[in-house]
Chains A and B, each alone.
Chain A
């Protein structure tokens, strides 16, 4: 079937089998391999993308759900347009060493950005609760939580809030 959606700001139209997962479509058909497949059982969160602004696990989403929707993947997460800067959340992960091997990082970032967008004044408890669906096997989460708090603050400072 033919589906049309906005992918990282660009109108996109693809022909897909209905039994295609969005994670597969992104990685194999559209060659956007920043979205990682970790557990493939909707538990680890490495594949989180934003569907119409909300975080979803792309390994547990059928491609037809994209029709008419807006999709943001890790490739679309950037700083100010044309600035060649990282997104404030990415910059915070770099500054605070919020990753080791980096495999879970795309999903962590997408979940973190959604959390910070939804609630401007995140507490540490909010961050830990909000990251429940993202598993990291390297860091013990401490630096990830610090990074998300800093990234959220930077996102809202950039907006002048």
Chain B
């Protein structure tokens, strides 16, 4: 790692100001992606702005038809939350499958969403549930937030403060994980609402995406059999040392069926 200055502001406006006033500065939440990136010298920021001392960014609140999770809430807290387990069990299950216990102690929902790793789990949950990303400046719908490989709608001085999830009728997540990293080779989040079904896929391509044919089929019949014959086009899917695009395409259907099964169980 190259040396950097370290700032621990206690107010969001101060954090935003540091981020814009110091050239090449970066935010750090749990650091589960940033620290490995710094160690490999894929990034060498001049300063880190640590979000851990900001008030009110941790915790989960019940708003009735929605639940709101503070950006600095670690995965382990979401996974163990009775509120999330009761209202959106599929989301608690997703959080329990991220990385390993040590990663879940530190990694945060805000960090995961802002980083938008193409194989991260949370983007599938956020897009699948049609959640809203709340930032220091505005609210952004999930459908407008994820723009592709590590790209989001966030502007350079914008800080994610919370994610607001609508409570679905049913929801489930299933992933086939890369055994060493435990990132999703393919992960599928399925959510059934009164007005339709949303299906979001992570790991398969350069960014999280929805599958309209599966959404239409599941809206008619929320059962794994409804999507068993739906194949995903391999165009634009990722091929790497872990899996070829055609295998990932196959896994999307398999994981989508398992996600529906999980939602129904």
Contact = CB atoms under 8 A, between A and B. Distances in A.
A123 B238 CA distance: 37
Residue among A17, A43, A48, A62 with max Cβ neighbours from chain B (10 Å): A62
Given A18-B48, A55-B101, A111-B101, A61 B3 contact: no
B180 A43 contact: yes
B241 interface: no
A42 B32 contact: yes
Q: A interface, how many residues as a size bin? A: 20 to 34
Given A45-B102, A111-B101, A61 B76 contact: no
A149 interface: no
A19 B182 contact: no
Interface residues of B, number: 28
B150 interface: no
Interface string B32-63: 10011011000000001010100000000000
Nearest to B99: A133
Interface in A137-155: none
A40 B39 CA distance: 9
Contact of A65 (B36, B52, B102, B180): B52
A39 to B, nearest CB: 9
A56 interface: yes
Interface in A24-53: 40-43, 45, 48, 51
A115 B99 CA distance: 15
A64 interface: yes
Interface in B92-126: 99-103, 105-106
Q: What are the nearest 6 A-B pairs in CB distance? A: A133-B100, A18-B6, A54-B105, A19-B1, A132-B100, A57-B102
Given A41-B36, A62-B28, A65-B31, 7 more contacts: A19-B2, A21-B1, A48-B102, A60-B35, A62-B35, A133-B99, A133-B103
16 contacts: A1-B6, A18-B48, A19-B3, A41-B39, A42-B35, A42-B36, A42-B102, A57-B102, A57-B103, A60-B31, A60-B32, A62-B31, A111-B102, A130-B101, A133-B101, A134-B100
Interface of A: 1, 17-19, 21, 40-43, 45, 48, 51, 54-57, 60-62, 64-65, 111, 114-115, 130, 132-134
